[in-house]
């Protein structure tokens, strides 16, 4: 796992767009089908918009029809942290960046093989780095 990255709230506000700040630092959610990465199929890696940690690979991305980029696995052990989320009257599993604690989205047990997982991730929480 990468070295932990922490910043003050003011530093995060200065580094991120207002929408990225709202989603990643305040546990928000972008509107479904609004994110630039939702339909992207270009090969590459997906990094945390806050700290640049590699979180997902395009080889694990699929179209879940949910309106958010979806992946069946994260990159390696320890890239993301999963925590119980009881907000909004539901019980879900929140996914955060293991390096900087950015809120990324949620993971659900209704994904495709081989994992059966659907990491439903806010597009604004990610940066896509295309393969060369």
Q: Which of 50, 51, 100, 120 is catalytic?
A: 120
Q: How far apart, in whole angstroms, are the C-alpha atoms of residue 70 and residue 27?
A: 18
50 an active-site residue?
Answer: no
Instruction: Return the structure tokens found at 82.
Output: 């999963």
Give every strand in the sheet of 54-57, ordered side by side.
54-57, 44-48, 126-130
- Among candidate residues 132, 124, 127, 126, the one with its CA nearest the CA of residue 20: 124
- Write the burial class of residue 29 (CB in 10 Å: 0-12 exposed, 13-18 middle, 19+ buried): middle
Q: Running DSSP on this structure, what letter comes out for residue 117?
A: -
Annotated active-site positions, please? Answer: 120
């Amino acid at each position: 796992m990468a070295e932990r990255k922490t910043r003050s709230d003011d530093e995060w506000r200065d580094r991120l767009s207002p929408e990225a700040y709202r989603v990643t630092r305040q546990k928000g959610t972008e509107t479904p089908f609004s994110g630039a990465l939702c339909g992207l199929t270009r090969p590459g890696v997906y990094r945390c918009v806050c700290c640049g940690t590699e979180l997902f690979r395009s080889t694990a991305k699929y179209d879940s029809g949910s309106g958010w980029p979806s992946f069946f696995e994260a990159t390696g052990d320890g890239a993301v942290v999963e925590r119980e989320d009881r907000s909004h009257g539901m019980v879900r599993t929140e996914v955060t960046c293991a390096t900087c604690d950015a809120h990324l989205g949620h993971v659900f047990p209704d994904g495709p093989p081989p994992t059966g997982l659907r990491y439903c991730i806010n597009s604004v929480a990610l940066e896509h780095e295309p393969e060369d």
